A and B are shown apart, each in its own frame.
Chain A
Amino acid sequence: MIEVIKPGLETTVQDWPGRHGFWNKGFPVSGPMDSWSMRMANVLVGNQPGDAALEAQFLGPTLKFQIDTVIAVCGGNMRPKLDGDPLELWHSHQVLAGQVLELTAAISGARAYIAIAGGIDNEIILGSRATFAKAGVGGIDGGALKVGQVLSVFPAKGTPGMIVPESARPKLSKTRTWKIEVCAGPNDDWIDKPGQVRFFSADWILSAKSDRTGFRLDGPEWSFTPRATNKPPEHGALPSNVIDHGYPMGAINLAGQTPIILMNDGPSMGGFINPYTVPTGSFWKLGQARPGEILNFQEISVQGSQKIAANLKKMCSQGTLLKTS
């Protein structure tokens, strides 16, 4: 059992790959935005990569352990401390009943993941333990952690003394600029050539009006092909309007002139076009980008993006870890 002393800004239970099978009723996938870091935190403590763990955003929680267990913190650096002593990221650590883990504001990245040996034992809703806080689905009482809540974990011995080698950690940007891979489609044919060139050459600024449902981007105007302007009226009159259709997770959704990347808790359908899609293997970069930072997009083939995701999956396993000497 783990007691929530301070909840942090918006700390939620997530599992990976999240809630599949309910897209046709409007339930998003949810799950960790930086699944690389969360999967690594899990394998460090001896869990399955997708077990339920905590995602802390910008300002981490303070937790008191009522059991002896093994933990790992990965992802953005929220300067974790165990009973006041700095706790190294990307390592698994033995903790004893009574000890307090404290995370503070992120000094690099945006999201940190706390895995506990055994994984969090919260209720499974629609096949997943992940939290969709905006709709009150899953997690602990449907939302982010609150003061005084107690988290249950499955009993497990855990694997203390393990390390993720440098080469297997995500490289967080030190320049406030991120190169993000995108696949063209589904609706790239609605954007004209100059519009496509602008999309790939522009510095897109991640807006503060961003959350787990969507990342709003500030940047240049879009321009369109005749496909977008010459169409039956039931699409809606504006160029970005389309007869409502399913949205891929990661779609760069063009709502009017404002692009919004549809994130883990994003809508499953709607009536705007999606010219490009961020593939899942590149989501960790979005999860660690901070408002005000710059996103540059570069095109990748569907097969190339599938390879990235497959390599990531292979890497997020016990075999990658080293033992502390």
Chain B
Amino acid sequence: MIYKIPKFSPGGDRYILAVFGDEMNLELNFMAQGMASALRNSKIKGVIESAPCFASLLVHYEPEEIGYDDLIREMVVIFGSLGPSDNLELRSRLFSIPVMYLDPWSAECVEDYKAKIADKLTDPELIVRENGLKDVSHLVRLHSSSEYWVASLGFWPGLPFLMPLDPRARLTAPKYNPPRTNTPQGAIGLGGGATSIYPVATPGGYQIFGRTPIPIWDATQKIPAFQGDLCLFRPGDRIKFIPVTREEFDHAEAEVKAGTYETNIVEYQNFIVSDYNAWNHKLKVGAV
């Protein structure tokens, strides 16, 4: 469901959360991203920053410069001026990210959690059960079949929030209860309908079932693939996960250490929203 007017709620003395709808789709993400840039361009006094995610926007403001109610009024006006997303055509880079699915490090992390914190199905088995898949190989085939849309960055420096662009690859999973206190660097996780990559070893709540050897954030800003940014990805990029063997993983990891690894980035494509919507519609019709 997409709301006619965003739902606003306060987060303490300095934050407002605006929610645009109650599902995960590209249109809602365009609203969140569009609202973030419109708010930035509006230069409203007192707006410090904002953080868009799949279907919402968190705004950080200075209450000595603008009140809670006044800022909501301004945001409703801006929301009304956002154009429709279906005529958008935007530059979209495509990243090929090598992933060792069902890797030993994630498995070890899950075993450790089961032993010390709470017993549960292993993460890949849980996703298989939740989504009615045949087995873990089915999970790997399905998860690696789609391109993923970088909806936003957050949680930790450089961490991308991803959604599959192919509706047939949609998977869902409950989040950890309680969360892990640790996650292997580079782990691939699924929580709700979202996929993510853990940039470094951090706490985490997503079910983990794969690992990439390549860095996705760089405090030193020295890795060429980052093109001068701290983070590898930007919202509007796409990611394709390429299943690799242990041998290929180790090889890539050694290249990363040696500073010779070259991230595969395709930079000549546009993402045409109307074409995507038409393709999506065709798939849906086909499924009936």
Contact = CB atoms under 8 A, between A and B. Distances in A.
Interface stretch (A89-97, A254-262, A286-294, A317-325): A254-262
Interface of A is mostly: mixed
A246 B154 contact: yes
B180 to A, nearest CB: 10
Nearest to B229: A25
B62 to A, nearest CB: 9
Contacts, number: 228
B67 to A, nearest CB: 8
B155 A26 contact: yes
B181 interface: yes
Interface residues of A, number: 67
A161 interface: no
A25 B50 CA distance: 10
Contact of A25 (B11, B24, B153): B153
Chain B interface size band reads 35 or more
A234 B17 CA distance: 19
B231 interface: yes
B177 A245 contact: no
Interface of B is mostly: loop
A22 B155 CA distance: 11
Interface stretch (B82-90, B99-107, B167-175, B266-274): B167-175
B228 interface: no
Interface in B1-57: 9-15, 17, 19, 22-24, 36, 48-57
Interface in B208-228: 217, 219
Interface stretch (A41-49, A54-62, A273-281): A273-281
A234 B172 contact: yes
Nearest to B157: A26
Contact of A135 (B68, B130, B219): B219
Interface of B: 9-15, 17, 19, 22-24, 36, 48-58, 60, 63-64, 68, 130, 152-159, 161, 170, 172-179, 181, 191-194, 199-200, 202-203, 205-206, 217, 219, 230-231
